[in-house]
Amino acid sequence: MISQSLMIFTLVSIWFSMGWALVPLFSSVHFWLKRSDFKVNTDPLPYYPKVTIVVPAHNEDVVIAQTATAILNLNYPVDRVELLLFADNCNDNTYEEMQKVKALPQFAGRNITLINRKGTGGKAGVLNDALKMATGEYICVYDADAMPEQNALYFLIKEVLKDPERHVAAFGRNKTRNATQNFLTRCINQEIVVTQRVQHVGMWHLFKIGRIPGTNFIINTDYVKSIGGWRNGALTEDTDISFKIMESGKLIALAYNSEAFQQEPETVRTYMMQRKRWAKGNYEVVISNFKNLFNRSNWRVKLEVFYYSCTYFWFNAAIILSDLIFFANIVAMVRHLFDPAVTLPFAFDPSNVYIAQLLLFNWLVMILIYLLQITISQASQFGQATIHQVGIALISYFTYTQLFIIISIVSVWSVTMDKLLRRDGTKWVKTKRFAG
Amino acid sequence: MTLTDIFFYIATGVTGLFAICVFILLICYLTIYERVNKNFRAVKK
């Protein structure tokens, strides 16, 4: 009875997570059905607000020159752009690379400020320093590895100008610049395409919920000042400020045409470190916002906290439990070969002969939904939905996606130990960059 | 009726619902794919 109850709990939990995944998926499908058959226009805007573009760089000499050049080539009036390049506590040639770009003849007369920073606070610290210096009406943030497409800023501004009072921020999408490097980057690319073309689009289209992605976004300067800036030392300062914006009833608008090319980890070790930092940061934000589920907070905050809580605690626990059940049965089957008295510890009532077939079919249907989610997100951009990508999606189901289980276990353990031992869990770990 | 039997009926319903979703999503995928390949153009420079 207990073993059956455990199996039912894990299956029902997984169905809930699948059911929830279908909500933004159907919403995004509706969005793309309406927007997949017209041409995008880049007609001049009625007004070009001044924008301060901030690039926080910590030991980024491999990529900073390319990024700075791409930013300076943006399709936006040059006299309405101020560029602040921060070399934050660097011990490589990041600052020298920045100087080389500034000295290029084609950028003579451009409003570029280089800051060789030695302060604390990580990326949030840099952004708060930039907030004090910014003269633009909006602050735009690009990570050192994020190379914006020419019209990226134009589309972000276009989105906030639709309703400047409510749209205090706008965010675009990030494409993987090294997607074809190896199997890992191909998988990350698929994950990012799904996140941005399905989840971000679906949540915005249905609930007007946006999440600042850390790079390729703009935010109203006066508004950030009014909420006290970024929280110094936050592991995921983007999630943190997203909650603050939603709490105030303002919106983070999606500019789905604004694109930046970002470099993703090329080794499993780098990937794991990055994701552990993200997961820990998100746990931190969820725990600190958990109280909002039960008070008079904005409904968007409640929905986000509920979603994050379910994902990070309930759904993750269910998946880990289902894996334990699976391995316990495998061990029992192997032991059964040597000792016929050993039976499966987790099994349904043998009188129902169809349940195994039904659950196998259920699993196959869920895999099909997973594949359709990926193929739909890729179909929304020309030339991306290919048989090759379906093959990668299928292989990653059994390999790459399983890494999330390890990441969630490690992160929960690390967050718990941080709390118990009063460790400084917010120490910034930078994602390693790769040349090319 | 055993717990397994009750769960079997629930699982049948959920599986049926997911199967309908697969069918609808497949149609939507084909429609988006067709439209994007036919009409989508990159951003005008």
Q: What is the ipTM of this complex?
A: 0.89
Q: What is the pLDDT of residue A79?
A: 93
Residue A60's pLDDT band (cuts 50, 70, 90): confident
Chains A and B form CB pairs within 8 A to the count of 108
Average pLDDT on A364-392 reads 91
Provide the strand spans (E) within A58-178: 81-88, 112-117, 138-141, 146-148, 167-176
| CA A214/CA A241 separation, integer angstroms | 10
Q: What is the mean pLDDT of residues A143-171?
A: 93
Judged against a pLDDT cut of 70, whether residue A426 lies above it is answered with: no
Q: Flag whether pLDDT at A383 surpasses 80.
A: no
Smallest CA–CA distance, residue A25 to chain B, in Å, is 9
Question: pTM for this one?
Answer: 0.87
Distance between alpha carbon A18 and the CA centroid of its chain, in Å?
19
Please indicate if any CB of chain B lies within 8 Å of the CB of A376: yes
Confidence of residue B45 (pLDDT cuts 50, 70, 90): very low
Which neighbouring-strand residues pair with A316? none
Q: How confident is the model at residue A405 (pLDDT cuts 50, 70, 90)?
A: confident
Q: What's CA A305's distance to the chain center, in Å? A: 16
Q: Is A3 helix (H, G, I), strand (E, B) or coil?
A: helix
Residue whose C-alpha is closest to residue A196's, from A389, A402, A374, A388: A374
Selected residue with higher pLDDT from A205 and A412:
A205
Q: Chain A partners of B8 at a C-beta cutoff of 8 Å?
A: 352, 354-355, 358
| Percent of chain A scoring above 70 in pLDDT | 95
Mean pLDDT confidence for A218-222: 95
Q: Determine contact: A43 vs chain B, CB below 8 A.
A: no
Residue A334: per-residue pLDDT: 95
- At residue A377 the predicted structure's pLDDT band, cuts being 50, 70 and 90, is very high
Helix axes A2-35, A355-379, angle to 10 degrees: 30
CA–CA distances in Å: residue A401 to residues A192, A233, A337: 13, 29, 31
**How confident is residue A217, by pLDDT bands cut at 50, 70 and 90?**
very high
Give the other-Cβ count within 10 Å of A34's Cβ: 10
Average pLDDT over every residue of A123-141: 92
pLDDT at A188 over 60: yes
pLDDT for B39 equals: 67
Distance between CA B12 and CA A361 in Å, rounded? 10
What is the spatial distance between Cα B25 and Cα A27, in angstroms, rounded to a whole number? 11
Do A97 and A66 form a contact (C-beta atoms < 8 A)?
A: no
Give the distance from residue B45's alpha carbon to the nearest chain A alpha carbon, in angstroms: 8
Which tops the pLDDT comparison, A311 or A139? A139
pLDDT value of residue A137: 96
- Asked if the Cβ–Cβ distance from B4 to A348 is below 8 Å, we say yes
- Output the pLDDT for position B44: 45
Tell me what percent of the residues of chain A surpass a pLDDT of 90: 54
CA distance A320 to A11: 12
- Give mean pLDDT, residues A243-272: 90
Expressed in angstroms, the distance from the first to the final Cα of chain B is: 67
